[in-house]
Amino acid sequence: MFPVRRLLATLTLWFAPQRLRAEGVTPDYRFSLANERTFLAWIRTALALVAGGIAVDQFLTGMRWGARTAIAVTLLAGGAACAVRAVNHWVRCERAMRRGEDLPVSRFPALLGAATALAALLVVLAVVLGRAG
The span from the CA of 106 to the CA of 73, in Å, is: 24
**67-95 tens-digit pLDDT:** 889 889 989 999 999 999 999 999 999 99
Extended strands (E) in the chain: none
Query: What's the predicted TM-score (pTM) here?
Result: 0.81
Q: Assign 129 to helix, strand or coil.
A: coil
Q: Terminus-to-terminus CA distance in the chain, angstroms?
A: 51
**11-57 tens-digit pLDDT:** 787 777 778 788 889 999 999 999 999 999 999 999 999 999 999 89
Task: List the one residue out of 86, 18, 88 whose CA is nearest residue 47.
Answer: 86
Cα four-point dihedral sign 8, 33, 83, 97: negative
